[in-house]
């Protein structure tokens, strides 16, 4: 099952622009993860941010985490056509290692 909320559900921008996706969750977490899924393919892990971290970078990706607001954002800078995919956030809880998933944001980068 998928829980949590992501917005926007869909985002279409021009190549070169920055893309920002948000994720909200409901309970305390151990960490929050972002994944990418290209059409017809499996999920690929992008970045993991722990509950005691506020910001993390990986290449053109920047992830922030605000535990007081129970929200996270994923920023992709200088977008490329190859970034076109669906992006999912998932939260991991303290007591087990099952992930709770957001519904995903479909990102389209127009050349």
Partner 1 sequence: GAVVSQHPSRVICKSGTSVKIECRSLDFQATTMFWYRQFPKQSLMLMATSNEGSKATYEQGVEKDKFLINHASLTLSTLTVTSAHPEDSSFYICSVNPETQYFGPGTRLLVL
Note the residues at the interface with partner 1 (CB under 8 A): 1, 30-31, 33, 35, 37, 40-45, 48, 86, 88, 90, 92, 97-99, 101, 104
CB of 45 to partner 1, least distance (A): 4
- Quote the tokens at residue 80: 């490329």
Nearer to partner 1, 40 or 111 (CB): 40
Instruction: Supply the minimum distance, in Å, between the C-beta of residue 63 and partner 1.
Output: 13
Residue found by looking up tokens 């499996």 in the block: 42
Q: 6 near 88, Cβ under 8 Å?
A: yes
Closer CB to partner 1, 18 or 98, in the complex: 98
**Coil, strand or helix at 23:** strand
Please identify, using beta-carbon distances, which residue of 19 and 101 lies nearer to partner 1: 101
Least distance between partner 1 and beta carbon 77 (Å): 22
**CA–CA distances in Å: residue 66 to residues 22, 48, 85, 92, 104:** 11, 14, 25, 15, 19
């Amino acid at each position: 099952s998928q829980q949590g909320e992501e917005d926007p559900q869909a985002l279409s921008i021009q190549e070169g622009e920055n893309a920002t996706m948000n994720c909200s969750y409901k309970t305390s977490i151990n960490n929050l993860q972002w994944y990418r899924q290209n059409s017809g393919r499996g999920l690929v892990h992008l970045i993991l941010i722990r509950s005691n971290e506020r910001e993390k970078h990986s290449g053109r990706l920047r992830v922030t985490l605000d535990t007081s607001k129970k929200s996270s954002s994923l920023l992709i800078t200088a977008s490329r056509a190859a970034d076109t995919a669906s992006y999912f956030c998932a939260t991991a809880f303290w007591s087990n290692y099952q992930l709770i998933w957001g519904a995903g944001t479909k990102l389209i980068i127009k050349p």
